[in-house]
Chain A
Amino acid sequence: AQSVSQHNHHVILSEAASLELGCNYSYGGTVNLFWYVQYPGQHLQLLLKYFSGDPLVKGIKGFEAEFIKSKFSFNLRKPSVQWSDTAEYFCAVNIPGNTPLVFGKGTRLSVIA
């Protein structure tokens, strides 16, 4: 069965700082990879996803993630965070096909002025 590890429980950054959130998964076969975001009081929203092809994927709001197969990693990055990026970020994986998402425990990002 797949599992997902997110290394940071809570990250605090100043506005304009660069962001990198770690995500590693355990599964030996082909996977789809996702980052979801949950803003305070809102529901989970898809930030970006990787199925195949270019391992560097760009999502909404300036976020990007890089799939490194040899490291089983799918880290999320943003060059310059804003206060509005304060949220909880979840990495998720599923096996291609009609299979459910398996989530990590999430990383809470707090951006301070």
Chain B
Amino acid sequence: QQPVQSPQAVILREGEDAVINCSSSKALYSVHWYRQKHGEAPVFLMILLKGGEQKGHDKISASFNEKKQQSSLYLTASQLSYSGTYFCGTEIPRSARQLTFGSGTQLTVLP
């Protein structure tokens, strides 16, 4: 089942903060975050593993609530380059590392 992302779209000014949420109905092993700009491939940002380990981008942070099967991506002091569509990909245990992606959150940062 596809994870649910919210909001679907957000517009903010440079320097403002944003939070993007990802929620799953299944018990998760890990959550992956990607940013995709128009016409380009998704770029890896962050992986959050069950048990709290986190690996990824040094200017973007994220959390993973294992009890609620929810993850949030925190974008602070946004830059113009942060614009794009953000996808979360979820991995369930014993799925041979298959990722199921949400439908995306479109983020637009204005000057």
- Whether A associates with B in a native complex is no
A interface, CB within 8 angstroms of B: none
